[in-house]
Amino acid sequence: MGWGYRKSIKMGPFRINLSRTGVGHSVGGRGARYTKTADGRRQMTLRIPGTGLSWRRTLGRRR
Protein backbone atom coordinates (compact mmCIF):
# COMPACT_ATOMS: atom_id res chain seq x y z
CA MET A 1 0.00 0.00 0.00
CA GLY A 2 1.43 3.37 -1.04
CA TRP A 3 1.08 6.78 0.51
CA GLY A 4 -1.19 9.44 -0.95
CA TYR A 5 -1.88 13.11 -0.42
CA ARG A 6 -5.08 15.09 -0.77
CA LYS A 7 -5.99 18.58 0.40
CA SER A 8 -9.23 20.40 -0.32
CA ILE A 9 -9.69 24.19 -0.16
CA LYS A 10 -13.28 25.48 -0.07
CA MET A 11 -14.26 28.90 -1.42
CA GLY A 12 -18.07 29.12 -1.29
CA PRO A 13 -19.55 26.69 -3.85
CA PHE A 14 -16.09 26.13 -5.40
CA ARG A 15 -13.52 23.63 -4.19
CA ILE A 16 -9.86 23.30 -5.23
CA ASN A 17 -8.51 19.77 -4.76
CA LEU A 18 -4.75 19.26 -4.41
CA SER A 19 -3.41 15.73 -4.71
CA ARG A 20 -0.24 13.86 -5.53
CA THR A 21 -1.28 13.70 -9.21
CA GLY A 22 -2.10 17.41 -9.59
CA VAL A 23 -4.84 20.00 -9.12
CA GLY A 24 -8.55 19.49 -9.74
CA HIS A 25 -11.62 21.60 -9.07
CA SER A 26 -15.30 21.19 -8.41
CA VAL A 27 -18.37 23.38 -8.14
CA GLY A 28 -21.80 22.74 -6.65
CA GLY A 29 -23.64 22.17 -3.44
CA ARG A 30 -24.92 19.28 -1.36
CA GLY A 31 -27.32 17.96 -4.01
CA ALA A 32 -25.26 18.24 -7.21
CA ARG A 33 -21.59 18.71 -7.99
CA TYR A 34 -19.50 18.98 -11.19
CA THR A 35 -15.87 17.89 -10.86
CA LYS A 36 -12.81 18.02 -13.09
CA THR A 37 -10.12 15.76 -11.64
CA ALA A 38 -6.36 16.28 -11.73
CA ASP A 39 -6.00 13.70 -14.52
CA GLY A 40 -8.64 15.39 -16.72
CA ARG A 41 -11.76 13.29 -16.02
CA ARG A 42 -15.05 15.16 -15.68
CA GLN A 43 -17.75 13.84 -13.35
CA MET A 44 -21.27 14.81 -12.34
CA THR A 45 -22.47 13.67 -8.93
CA LEU A 46 -26.06 13.86 -7.68
CA ARG A 47 -26.85 13.15 -4.01
CA ILE A 48 -29.85 12.92 -1.76
CA PRO A 49 -28.64 14.63 1.43
CA GLY A 50 -29.11 12.69 4.65
CA THR A 51 -29.67 9.32 2.97
CA GLY A 52 -26.18 8.31 1.85
CA LEU A 53 -27.51 7.73 -1.69
CA SER A 54 -25.61 9.17 -4.64
CA TRP A 55 -25.26 8.77 -8.40
CA ARG A 56 -22.04 9.54 -10.28
CA ARG A 57 -21.44 9.69 -14.01
CA THR A 58 -18.21 10.29 -15.90
CA LEU A 59 -18.77 12.80 -18.70
CA GLY A 60 -17.09 12.46 -22.08
CA ARG A 61 -13.95 10.45 -22.71
CA ARG A 62 -10.39 10.99 -21.61
CA ARG A 63 -7.96 11.83 -24.40
In tens, the pLDDT along 3-60 reads 778 899 999 899 999 988 899 999 998 899 999 998 889 999 999 988 889 999 999 8
Using 50, 70 and 90 to split pLDDT, how confident is the model at 62? low
Please tell me the predicted confidence (pLDDT) of residue 6: 82
Nearest Cα residue to 24 out of 1, 40, 47, 13: 40
Residue 44 burial class via C-beta count within 10 angstroms: exposed 0-12, middle 13-18, buried 19 and up: middle
Q: Is residue 15 part of a domain?
A: yes
- DSSP label at residue 3: -
Nearest Cα residue to 45 out of 60, 29, 34, 61: 34
Q: Is residue 46 part of a domain?
A: yes
Host domain of residue 40: 6-59
Q: Is residue 1 part of a domain?
A: no
- Please tell me the total count of domains within the chain: 1
